[in-house]
């Protein structure tokens, strides 16, 4: 049972509800023909199964409970440590929320004006069993990246691939301009932009085309207390800059001090506001909602 729960959480790449880990444990017991013993009463089997699951979750140090309550069936359950990265040099597995987000955006890029049922029909075979995304998750992504017209969903103009590439180029220029104003030199190192002064690293920036925070935390090699993750395309008046809390399979060791900011914050500093960032009411990208419980961004 413990290995089945651990495998499920690893496949998700992020914490899961008690219902999901409970189902993963039940499937393991069914496969082992251990769900109900011969001549055992149903109520007794139910209590035994519940006690076994509770013991597995509470006594295994690999599992972390994200909840304000003590009951095992509240909050979310995750892993205390991230899975080891691939030894073949390949990219680490994205979290389930990130994979769903990528799949929906990719589908809408290829099939604009699709109705909700068509999006479901494309997604569900990709995410079978306990990995099937909820309707709430699908609508969160759609509300963040798309707009509905005449019953069909299509990406917002600022969220199509060409617009995002232009936005990344513009953000890079802003980082360089602000750094120069503050007396820093800007240098690109792989996917990171570095502010340096007299050969000393002062700040690093990781620019995301979307809200895939797990990828950024996994890929940046620099101290996270010096790292700013910049997300384009949000024009909420207050921005959202703060501290990333544990998420995505127990990444608390890596995510405790990383700062998150919006392109709009850079615009305010630089004094520039492109037309596509002036309108209010832009929703927070879906990927930022997957961090469990507590206030993710203070």
pLDDT band at 268 (very low <50, low <70, confident <90, very high): low
Place of tokens 């030199």: 185
pLDDT tens by residue, 141-155 = 999 889 999 999 999
Question: Can you list the pairs that 55-59 forms with residues at least 24 positions away whose Cβ atoms lie under 8 Å?
Answer: 56/1, 56/2, 56/5, 56/25, 57/5, 57/21
Check: CB of residue 104 under 8 Å from CB of residue 138.
yes
- Provide the 3-class DSSP secondary structure of residue 210: coil
Give the per-residue pLDDT at 139.
Answer: 94
Which is nearest to 201 in space by CA: 182, 186, 220? 186
113 contact partners, CB below 8 Å, separation of at least 6 = 149, 150, 152, 153, 154
Return the pLDDT at 249.
Answer: 38
Helix axes 2-12 and 18-31, enclosed angle (nearest 10)? 130
Domain range 96-157, CATH class:
mainly alpha
Q: How many residues in the chain?
A: 298
Residues 163, 157 contacting (CB under 8 angstroms): yes
- Cβ burial of 296 (10 Å; 0-12, 13-18, 19+) is buried
- CA-nearest of 218, 232, 238, 216 to 297 is 238
Higher pLDDT, 82 or 101: 101
DSSP assignments along 131-193, one per residue = GPPPHHHHHHHHHHHEEEETTEEEE-GGGSHHHHHHHHHHHHHHHHHHHHHTT-EEEEETTEE
Is residue 27 within 8 Å of 129, Cβ to Cβ? no
Residue 289 has pLDDT above 90, yes or no: no
**Angstrom distance (rounded) from CA 74 to CA 86:** 32
Q: Give dist(CA 186, CA 174) in Å, integer.
A: 11
Mean pLDDT of 106-132: 95
Residue range 14-62, pLDDT digits in tens: 999 999 999 999 999 999 888 888 888 888 888 999 999 999 999 999 9
Closest of 230, 231, 255 to residue 245, by C-alpha: 255
pTM: 0.68
Q: Is residue 136 exposed (0-12), middle (13-18) or buried (19+ Cβ within 10 Å)? A: exposed
pLDDT at 93: 67
Q: Which is more confident, 81 or 295?
A: 81
Could you tell me the residue ranges of all domains in the chain?
A: 2-79, 96-157, 161-289
Confidence of residue 4 (pLDDT cuts 50, 70, 90): very high
Least confident range of 41-50, 126-135, 189-198, 257-266: 257-266
pLDDT of 221 over the 60 cut: yes
pLDDT at 278: 34
As a whole number of angstroms, the distance between CA 106 and CA 247 comes to 24
C-alpha span between 212 and 218 (Å, rounded): 10
């Amino acid at each position: 049972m413990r290995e089945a729960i651990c495998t499920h959480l690893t496949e998700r790449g992020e914490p899961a509800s008690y219902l999901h880990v409970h189902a993963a444990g039940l499937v393991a017991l069914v496969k082992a023909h251990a769900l109900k013993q011969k001549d055992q009463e149903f109520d007794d089997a139910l209590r035994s199964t519940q006690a076994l699951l509770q013991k597995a979750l509470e006594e295994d140090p690999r599992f972390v409970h994200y909840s304000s309550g003590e009951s095992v069936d509240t909050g979310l359950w995750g892993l205390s440590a991230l899975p080891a990265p691939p030894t073949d040099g390949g990219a680490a597995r994205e979290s389930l929320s990130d994979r769903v987000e990528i799949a929906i955006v990719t589908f809408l890029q290829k099939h604009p004006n699709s109705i909700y049922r068509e999006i479901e029909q494309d997604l569900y075979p990709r995410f079978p069993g306990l990995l099937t995304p909820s309707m709430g998750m699908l609508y969160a992504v759609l509300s963040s990246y798309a707009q509905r017209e005449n019953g069909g969903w299509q990406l917002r103009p600022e969220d199509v691939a060409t617009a995002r590439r232009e936005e990344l180029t513009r953000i890079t220029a802003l980082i360089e301009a602000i750094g120069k104003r503050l007396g820093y030199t800007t240098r690109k190192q792989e996917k990171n932009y570095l502010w340096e002064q007299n050969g000393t690293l002062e700040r690093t920036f990781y620019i995301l085309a979307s809200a895939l925070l797990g990828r950024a935390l996994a890929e940046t090699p620099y101290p996270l207390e010096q790292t700013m993750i910049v997300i384009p395309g949000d024009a909420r008046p207050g921005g959202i800059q703060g501290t990333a809390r544990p998420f995505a399979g127990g990444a608390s060791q890596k995510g405790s001090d990383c700062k998150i900011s919006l392109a709009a914050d850079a615009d305010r500093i630089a004094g520039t506001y492109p037309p596509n960032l002036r309108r209010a009411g832009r929703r927070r990208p879906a990927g930022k909602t997957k961090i469990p419980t507590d206030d993710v961004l203070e």
